[in-house]
Amino acid sequence: MAPTLWNLFGVFYKIGMFTIGGGYAMIPLIKREITKRDWLSEEELPDIIALAQSAPGILSVNVAIFAGYKMRGIKGAIVTCIGTVLPSFFIMLLIAAVFSNYKENSTIVSIFKGIRPVVVALIAAPTVNMARKGNKTFLAWLLTVSAIVAVAFLRISPVYVLFSVIIGAVVISLFKGRRGKQ
């Protein structure tokens, strides 16, 4: 039986409220909540996750939208999206309201200064791991380092860097194709 819109909202609100860590941290909870209620089968969820990963945007919100759509159409997609996002919205609103009163507090300022390097590490670690797995040749490493230098130090827009790499790849591919035909 298809869930009611209120049931969908409640479950996805709970998921949004109690999952810390973003999209991938939400997946196990989404899976458990949806499958224990027999709203979707365990075979359907990997397809939804794959589709959500291919769409632009936040993974957890995309999963909620696609799952909601699968269960109740457009209304289900809207309700699950709102249910997933609303808790974060309220939490950020509360933090912004409270933080504005304490933004000059030296302890709060010190806490945020201490958090900055950790956030950089949390972003850098998966980036380095992805580079290790994807960069199998000297050229790939050279492109990676060149892109970092161009974007971070020379302040060249990432759009131009990506566009340059795409053009370069097409030219190399065409050159190799012509060379192989000779």
Write out pLDDT tens, residues 63-120. 999 999 999 999 999 999 999 999 989 988 988 888 777 778 888 889 888 888 887 8
Between CA 11 and CA 179 the distance in angstroms is 58
What pLDDT, on the 0 to 100 scale, is given for residue 20?
Answer: 66
DSSP 57: S
For residues 111 and 41, the answer to whether their CB atoms sit within 8 Å is no
Reference 72, options 34, 111, 102; nearest CA is 34
Q: For a pLDDT cut of 90, what percent of the chain falls above it?
A: 32
Cβ atoms within 10 A of the Cβ of 19, count?
20
Token readout for 154 is 């020379």
Mean pLDDT of 163-174: 88
pLDDT for 4 beyond 90: yes
The SS3 of residue 2 is: coil
Reference 48, options 35, 65, 36, 32; nearest CA is 65
Runs of H (alpha helix) within the chain: 5-18, 23-36, 44-54, 59-102, 106-134, 138-148, 158-181
What pLDDT, on the 0 to 100 scale, is given for residue 182?
Answer: 64
Model-level pTM? 0.58
For residues 93 and 57, the answer to whether their CB atoms sit within 8 Å is no
pLDDT for 19 beyond 80: no
**b/e for 137-156, b at 16 or more Cβ within 10 A?**
eeeeeebeeebeebeeeeee
For residues 16 and 87, the answer to whether their CB atoms sit within 8 Å is yes
Chain-centre distance for alpha carbon 164: 25
Lowest mean pLDDT among 47-51, 62-66, 89-93, 133-137: 133-137
What pLDDT, on the 0 to 100 scale, is given for residue 21?
Answer: 63
